[in-house]
Structure 1
Amino acid sequence: MAHIREGIDEEKKACFTLDDQGVLWFKNRLVVPKDMELRKKILDEAHTSVLTMHPGSNKMYQDLKQKFWWTRMKREIAKYVSECDVCKRVKADHLKPGGMLQPLNIPAWKWEDIHMDFVVGLPRTQKGYDSIWVIIDRFTKSAHFLPVKTVYRANMYAELYIAKIVSLHGVPRTITSDRGSVFVSRFWEQLQNALGTRLIHSSAYHPQTSGQVERVNQIVEDMLRACALTYSTKWDECLPLAEFAYNNSYQKSLNMAPFEALYGRRCRTPLNWSEPGERVTFGPDLVTQAEEQVKFIQSNLKSAQSRQKSYSDRRRRPLVFEKGDHVYLRVSPIKGVHRFGVKGKLAPRYVGPFKITEQSVHDVFHVSQLKKYIRVPEEEVDTSQVQIEPDLTYEARPIKILDQKQRSTRWNTVNFYKVQWSDHSEEEATWETEEYLQTKHP
């Protein structure tokens, strides 16, 4: 083995040559000495120059190795690119989604823990309905599909909730929903607080928290598409039948129909007027039967959750963050940061870095929306000045009018203002119309 190593070293030494000017070459590549400042200048030019535009580590290595050589060159380039602040902010991820699946706890009883969401954008019916309020029991999977109007206020939803849910099933312990305007309104929160119900909001851009209701939304939409062939825009007339069909159909996670889990048996239909060997249960036997059914449902739900987690985690990668780590936060690429004089698609994908102060369950950013910051930042970011909206958007606000001009057309005159935005310099100011400023920033 030592003889082989000596042979390899001799071959490698033969690749080095010294020219007349005393410059060392490795084959036809210039050898860069162990001068970290010099190497950094080379890396900066190859990565941040306007002629290179932040290439990835492999592309950057392939370009540099044509001209330069030094030991562990590829490793240093990979480390340099991984620490590039601009790359972390603007480049899309091509990795598996971060964070393993964390299922919600299995409820202990019927209609104690519920999901709710809206199916919107439906054709307006003669009665004015254009949306469906979907409310699901997490335990029995039974659901109510309530036709509603987008113009409803929170108090109207509260009246409907009392009439259709509380009157039939009692007051739930928890309600899981997204961050829709109705569910985060002060009136709705005060109502649920008075009833003793805890609200659980999914984190932004993570609908998997309400994955069950999202799946039911798809089922409802498919049912209504089938009904639309006959009922056209009168989908609200077949909605009660769609609710019955869903609740009386077999659910794999339960190994029974929602009605069977809720009432102990399926409801009768023209195909099934009575159960074979139908019998009536009274007294202690009824209680025992109900307890056994609850245990059976819980066992089936645990098996379904375990199976779902196994399938989901195959397409995910674990992400572990500790208190004190620094991370970037993903924001909406459409509404995102107003920076570099642009808005919308060209805005950075991430903002930060920010320091992790606590780990929690809800009302925080999901781990999949975070990207680890490789090195400790030289300057601590003042997070109090960065106003992230609940939907993970960050929109800069106008703080100063720098200039004004007018443009006249054949029909009218348009006023333009040069606006300096919050957290940005005057060089990044943009020209905006008076109408835009009055609409977006009154």
Structure 2
Amino acid sequence: MIHIQEPKSPKEVVHMDWVTALPPSGNKHYNACLVIVDRYRKTPIILPCHNNDTAMDTDLLLWSRVLSHTGLFKNIISDRDSKFTSALWTNLHRLFGTKLSFSTAHHPQTDGLAERIIQTLEDMIRRFCAYGLELKDSDGFTHDWCTLIPTLELAYTTSVHSSTGQTPATLEKGWNTRLPADTLRKDLIDIHPKTSSFKMMLDKVKNHAKQ
């Protein structure tokens, strides 16, 4: 097992893993997700992608969706997937000064906590895949799992984490996050049909999340 130096601030050390073999979703027919978990605050980032993405695709996804907002990581912990061990990936992160740590078959995520977090997120994603195709608005638009990922992230980051006693969102921002469930008004009579459809979608997702 590799030695993990515990981070002292957010986004220093992250764990990465794939959730694959998902049903095609969205205009780009995503069928996989790259899951990134910040070791310090337990906050997840879930990026829809494709099973056959290359190392270059993954690098571009990481840069455009994550690193441009968070800055560079000090340490990335992952398995030995071919994209994570490719010359492009390893050389690029060596250039960035990012340490790459690889787990083994005997220690899949190198520590149990990270493994449990990623497994929980994978279970949530697969539940959304099984359920999301039923969420259709009055115009026939399907809110499938790809469009529901931000809702999943919000649900996870606003739930109290057993290891910290606080929500990841509170640790990340320093205050409690305002949630749609806390602010949605039920007394509105005149409401746009599309707004009403969106509210119904949120209610369905909330009820399903409680199951």
Per the TM superposition, whether the score is higher than 0.5 is yes
Match of 1:160 in 2: 61
Q: Is the alpha carbon distance of 1:238 and 1:118 closer, same or farther for their aligned partners in structure 2, counting shifts above 3 Å?
A: same
Relative to structure 1, the CA distance from residue 136 to residue 221 in structure 2 (aligned partners, 3 Å threshold; closer, same or farther) is closer
Deviation of the 1:216 alpha carbon: 2.6
Code of the aligned partner of 1:261 = L
Deviation at 1:271, TM superposition (A): 4.0
What does residue 148 of structure 2 align with?
A: 238
Which amino acid in the other structure matches residue 252 of structure 1?
S
What is the aligned counterpart of 1:263 among 158, 173, 178?
Answer: 173
Task: Specify every segment of 5 or more residues in structure 2 that has no aligned partner in the other structure, as ranges.
Answer: 135-143, 184-211
Higher strand share: 1
Corresponding residue number in structure 2 for 1:169: 70
Change (3 A) 1:155 1:169: same
Aligned with 1:194: secondary structure? helix
Amino acid at match of 1:192: H
Partner in structure 2 of residue 312 of structure 1: none
Match of 1:151, SS state, is coil
Q: Tell me if 1:122 matches 2:122.
A: no
> What residue is the counterpart of 1:223 in the other structure?
124
* Aligned residues between the structures: 173
Q: Distance in 2 between matches of 1:162 and 1:228?
A: 26
The aligned amino acid for 1:159 is: L
Matches within 5 A, 1:103-252: 104-126=4-26, 127-209=28-110, 211-228=112-129, 230-232=131-133, 234-252=144-162
Q: Quick one: which amino acid aligns to residue 21 of structure 2?
A: G
Deviation at 1:212, TM superposition (A): 3.7
User: How high is the TM-score relative to the length of structure 1?
Assistant: 0.37
- Percent pairwise identity: 34
| 1:134/1:213 contact within 8 Å kept | no
Letter in 2 for 1:110: P
Task: Pick 1 or 2: higher relative contact order, CA cutoff 8 A, min separation 6.
Answer: 2
Distance in 2, matches of 1:252 and 1:102, equals: 24
Deviation at 1:123, TM superposition (A): 1.6
Q: CA shift at 1:172, angstroms?
A: 1.0
Gaps of 5+ in 1: 1-100, 274-442
Q: 1:236 to 1:213 in 2, by over 3 A?
A: farther
Q: In 2, distance between residues paired with 1:210 and 1:147?
A: 25
* Matched letter for residue 12 of structure 2: E
What is the DSSP-based 3-state SS (H/G/I as helix, E as strand, rest coil) of the residue aligned with 1:207?
coil
**SS of the residue aligned with 2:110?**
helix
- Cα drift, residue 156 of structure 1: 1.1
TM-aligned CA distance change 1:211 to 1:163, over 3 Å:
farther
**Structure 1 contact 117–213 (Cα < 8 Å) conserved:** no
